[in-house]
Amino acid sequence: MENTLALLRESGAMLEGHFLLSSGRHSSRYFQCAKLLARPRMAEAALAEVCEKIRRHPLAGEISAVIGPAMGGIIVAYEIGRQLGLPAIFAERGENGAMQLRRGFEARPGQKFIIAEDVITTGKSYGECAALLESLGAEVAALACVVDRSSGHGVPWPFFPACKVEAEDWAAQDCALCKAGIPVVKPGSRKI
């Protein structure tokens, strides 16, 4: 965990300021994991412990593939798949905004997937990805991420975060930084 925090700092992926999160909440800290994941050796190091924990988990031999919600989960899914020797695919939003599999990717009934994310705050993306898999008859075996900043939100599967970080966040109407007149920045990829 400390290794991943050091890598986040070294890569410039841990930002301080006033940020609009993809969940719609505001925060004084933002994790731009793309800056970490852009460096393959850092991505490998940040996720090595996660992969080792997954290898030791009783369900490890039953896992068929890794899936990451676009955008943030794509490289995380790839790196976990690479380290575990599993196929790695991604789900992306269609024209209607719902997660879907495209590009010839498939999830078949009975397949067990690890959902891989960069940062988990509210669980919206992994929840949508899980619903997609379940609608196709596949199962979620585990959830993995680089940064867990979820503040205790329950995860219904085995959960493998590379690090857990406390980061204040507020509903927009309660944001202390807005009340202080500090401009908000939206660095993420999801349209709200």
DSSP run (H or E) holding 60 = none
> Measured between alpha carbons, how far is 130 from 126 in angstroms, rounded to an integer?
6
The pLDDT of residue 123: 86
- Is residue 2 within 8 Å of 169, Cβ to Cβ? no
Please name which of 44, 32, 29 lies closest in space to residue 151, comparing C-alpha atoms: 29
How far apart, in Å, are the Cα atoms of 73 and each of 37, 142, 177? Answer: 10, 14, 28
The pLDDT of residue 167: 82
Please name which of 17, 187, 18 lies closest in space to residue 118, comparing C-alpha atoms: 187
Non-local (6+) Cβ contacts of 138 within 8 A are: 64, 107, 108, 109, 110, 111, 112, 113
The pLDDT of residue 192: 47
> Measured between alpha carbons, how far is 93 from 128 in angstroms, rounded to an integer?
10
Q: Tens-of-pLDDT digits for all 192 residues of the chain?
A: 678 999 999 999 999 999 998 778 899 999 999 999 999 999 999 999 999 999 999 999 999 999 999 988 999 999 999 999 999 999 999 988 899 999 999 999 999 999 999 999 888 889 999 999 999 999 999 999 999 988 656 889 999 999 999 888 899 999 999 999 999 998 866 554
